[in-house]
Structure 1
Amino acid sequence: MSNIVETVTQDIIDALNNDQLTLPSLPEIALKVRDIAELEDTTINDLTDIIIQDSALTARIIRVVNSPLLRAPQEVKNLPMAVSRLGMNYTSNLAIGLAMEQMFQATSEMIEKRMRALWQLTGTISTWASVLATHTKILPPDEAMLAGLVHRLGALPILAYAEERDDIIQDNITLGKIIDRLHGPLGEAILKKWEFSEDISQIPKLYRKTDRVSDEPDFVGLITLANLIHNREIHAGWGLKEWKDIKLFDQFHLPADKEHVIYNELEEKVKASRAALM
Structure 2
Amino acid sequence: MSTENALLTILVDRINNDTLVLPTLPEVALKVRNSADDPDITLHSMADVIATDPALSARMIKVANSALMSRSVKVTTINQAVTRIGLRQIKNIATAMAMEQLFVSQNELIKGYMDKAWQKTIRVACHAMVLVKRYREGQRHELINTETITLAALTYNIGILPILTEAEKHPEVFANPSFLAHAIQKLAGKIGAAILTAWDFSDEFVEVAKNWSDPNYRPADVDFVDFVRMGAILEGILQVSDKSAALKVYVDKGIIPSVEVFADSEYQELVKDVRSVFS
Tell whether 2:264 aligns with 1:264.
yes
User: Relative to structure 1, is the Cα distance of residues 204 and 3 closer, same or farther in structure 2, using a 3 angstrom cutoff?
Assistant: farther
* Amino acid corresponding to residue 110 of structure 2 in structure 1: I
Give the partner amino acid of 2:79.
Answer: P
Calculate the TM-score normalised by the size of structure 1. 0.89
- C-alpha offsets along residues 56-86 of structure 1, whole Å, 9 cap, x if unaligned? 1101111222233434321101011001111
SS of residue matched to 1:24:
coil
Alpha-carbon distance in structure 2 between the residues aligned to 1:89 and 1:164:
41
Give the drift of 1:23: 0.4
TM-score, length-normalised on structure 2?
Answer: 0.89
Query: Aligned partners of 2:7, 2:251: CA distance in 1, in Å?
Result: 37
CA distance 1:170–1:102, change in 2 (3 Å): same
Matched ranges for 1:1-278 at <5 A:
3-137=2-136, 138=141, 139-210=144-215, 212-231=217-236, 237-238=239-240, 240-241=242-243, 243=245, 247-255=249-257, 257=259, 260-265=260-265, 266-278=267-279
**Shift in Å, 1:256:** 5.2
The 3-state SS of whatever aligns with 2:76 is coil
Relative to structure 1, the CA distance from residue 46 to residue 211 in structure 2 (aligned partners, 3 Å threshold; closer, same or farther) is same
Deviates more, 1:212-221 or 1:55-64: 212-221
User: C-alpha displacement at 1:171, in angstroms?
Assistant: 2.7
Decide whether aligned partners of structure 1 residues 63 and 46 sit closer, same or farther in structure 2, where only a CA change above 3 A counts.
same
- State the 1:238 CA deviation: 3.5
- Which amino acid is 1:267 matched to? Q
Higher deviation after alignment, 57-66 or 146-155: 57-66
Query: Given the superposition, is the C-alpha separation of residues 239 and 45 from structure 1 closer, same or farther in structure 2, using an over 3 Å criterion?
Result: farther
Which moves more between the two structures, 92-101 or 184-193?
Answer: 92-101
Residue correspondences, number = 272
Contact 1:128 1:226 in 2 (8 A): yes
Q: C-alpha displacement at 1:180, in angstroms? A: 1.5
Aligned 8 A contact 1:23 1:190 in 2: yes
Partner secondary structure for residue 67 of structure 2: coil
Q: After superposition, give the CA deviation of every residue in 1:252-276 in whole Å (9 maximum; x if it has no partner).
A: 431453xx14543323311232021
Q: Secondary structure at the match of 1:72?
A: coil
Instruction: Determine what percentage of the aligned residue pairs are the same residue.
Output: 31
Equivalent-residue separation in structure 2 for 1:182 and 1:244 (angstroms): 23
Structure 2 gaps of 5+ residues are none
Distance change in 2, residues 1:149/1:252 (3 Å)? farther
Counterparts of 1:245 and 1:109, CA distance in 2: 37
